[in-house]
Amino acid sequence: MYRITIVEDDDKIARLLGEALERYGFQPQRAQRMKELTLDFEEQTPHLVLMDINLPYFDGFYWCRQFRQRSTAPVIFISARSGEMDQVMAIENGGDDFVTKPIHLDLLIAKIKSALRRSYGEYAAAPLEPESGSGLTAPAGDEAGRASSAGGFELRCGELRLDVSRSLLLWREQAAQLSRNERLLAEALLEADGAIVSRDRLLESLWDDTSFVDDNTLTVNVTRLRRKLEELGLGGVLETHRGQGYRLNDAELAAGPDGGSR
């Protein structure tokens, strides 16, 4: 049973959300310490968080950033603030999705199920310890595709590696921790091995149902992944191809004669 923490200071809304989640077989748990929410996060260890924006003491953006330091579990913002900038801020601060009030329960439950499937279910990253003889180890000399390692499954494009199970992007001796959405985007791009990946394909990698997703949301997530690459010294590697999509410049990532082209 998935544990879902509700961060909502309105008692009526929190109660209605809890009742709806129970009807669908989830285990709702309400955050109580609005001044010290990190304590609730650590004690409740939620599989998913429903986060309001307007909260006492600190807003939901702040608490989402604090939660992201402890977990990569999905965070869905729920708020009466329906402006585009609010939704951009939610994604920028570590959120995975956004639902506006008044809440349409069918849409909310669909988004919750989608996020849980991607994080823990049929679309989740491969487990840390695959069964021996599963045939998932990449052949020698194959720099793209999945490979098994001590840390779990890896995707590679040149010398750039993604430890899928730990959501770590690795370049030489450096590593960058990725959020869930950044990891999913990185997976799609590394699997393409230098080919252009369309915006529609990237949107589908993040959300099962893209009907309610603003195209700008993808741009925000790509920008966040690009910043992580820049932290590794790989500025310019993630290319935008107007009208087509995005690609990783595999020539920039390929190892040269001296062990690397950069």
**What whole-number distance in Å separates Cα of residue 16 and Cα of residue 21?**
9
Domain 146-253 indexed as CATH 1.10.10.10: yes
Domain with CATH 1.10.10.10 in the chain: 146-253
Q: What is the pLDDT of residue 81?
A: 83
Predicted local distance difference test score (pLDDT) of residue 122: 52
Query: Residue 132 has what pLDDT?
Result: 34
Positions of CATH 3.40.50.2300 in the chain: 3-120
Q: CB neighbours of 134 closer than 8 A, spacing ≥ 6?
A: none
Q: CA 6 to CA 26: how far, in whole Å?
A: 12
pLDDT at 205: 78
pLDDT tens by residue, the chain, 262 residues = 899 999 999 999 999 999 999 999 999 999 999 999 999 998 998 999 999 999 998 999 999 999 988 888 899 999 888 788 888 888 888 899 999 888 888 899 999 998 888 887 654 443 333 333 333 233 333 333 444 333 446 888 888 999 887 888 999 888 888 888 888 899 999 988 889 999 888 888 776 554 545 567 778 888 889 999 999 999 889 999 988 999 999 888 875 334 444 4
Q: Kindly write down the DSSP assignment for every residue of 197-243, as one continuous string.
A: EEHHHHHHHH-S--TT--HHHHHHHHHHHHHHHHHTT-TT-EEEETT
Residue carrying structure tokens 């807003």: 59
Non-local CB neighbours of 76 within 8 Å, separated by 6+ positions: 48, 49, 50, 51, 95, 96, 97, 98, 99, 108, 111, 112, 115
Strand order in the sheet with 245-248: 197-198, 245-248, 238-241
Identify each DSSP E strand in the chain by its residue range. Answer: 3-7, 27-30, 48-51, 75-79, 97-100, 146-149, 152-157, 160-163, 168-171, 174-177, 197-198, 238-241, 245-248
Query: Is-contact 43 37, C-beta < 8 A?
Result: no
3-120 maps to CATH 3.40.50.460: no
The pLDDT, as a whole number, for residue 144 is: 39
Residue listed under structure tokens 């390692």: 149
